[in-house]
Amino acid sequence: MNKHTVKDDFIAIITGTFFVALGLFFLQSANLITGGTAGLALLIAQLTSGSFGFIYFTLNIPFLILGWFRFGRQFVINSVFSCAVVSIFVDNLHLFISVSHINPIFSGVTGGLLVGLGLLILIRHRSSLGGFNILCLSIQDKFGIPMGKTQMALDCTILMFSFFFVTPWLLFVSVLGAIILNIVLAMNHKPTRYVVTYGS
């Protein structure tokens, strides 16, 4: 595939981060969680009433450092920008939208779809949301294992850990959302179907 232009990447990153932030907002509104660093950040924010954005960005720092050595400068610059925008969006969406009632299943399905679509857009434009995304992209790049499969395995691990902190029903719905998210990635981001150059 030919590389996207800088303008293409910028527009796509804004679009992708908005989808991700909106999906996380739906999950957060129903007290649901998801996998990866986003899931950890949602869980910690629920337990401590802290800022999701600050927690999320802090958790991503070690993975962004890994990405610098694995995928190059441009990929990490895009990813840092994406993480920052998602953090800002999620922490401030309440200024534009409020939810007085939301069905957890609807929230889980919608949140999973939106986050999955947002991640897909970011990945195809040489960016990520840090965290397990970078680790899974590394595994896909080196071993050819689809990102969605490794992401799902790691996400399930995080969700199982959350069993100690959320009700079984909310955990079930969270798992449903995470499965939908990773199905979107597994079906639409295969190494042989869409090749992206991550280096600068």
Q: 167: domain range?
A: 6-188
| 199 part of a folded domain | no
pLDDT for 191 beyond 80: no
Question: Left, alpha or beta for 144 (phi > 0: left; psi -120 to 50: alpha)?
Answer: left
Most confident stretch, 69-73, 109-113, 133-137, 185-189: 109-113
| 197 part of a folded domain | no
| 193 part of a folded domain | no
Q: How much of the chain, in percent, has pLDDT values that exceed 70? A: 92
| 1 part of a folded domain | no
* C-alpha distances out from residue 187 to 42, 91, 124, 149, 198, Å: 26, 30, 14, 10, 20
Residue holding tokens 């009433």? 49
Answer whether 0.85 is exceeded by the pTM. Answer: no
| 195 part of a folded domain | no
Domain count, the chain: 1
199 or 102: which leads in pLDDT: 102
- H-assigned helices in the chain: 6-29, 36-48, 52-71, 73-92, 104-123, 131-143, 147-161, 168-188
| 103 part of a folded domain | yes
CA 60 – CA 69 distance, rounded (Å): 15
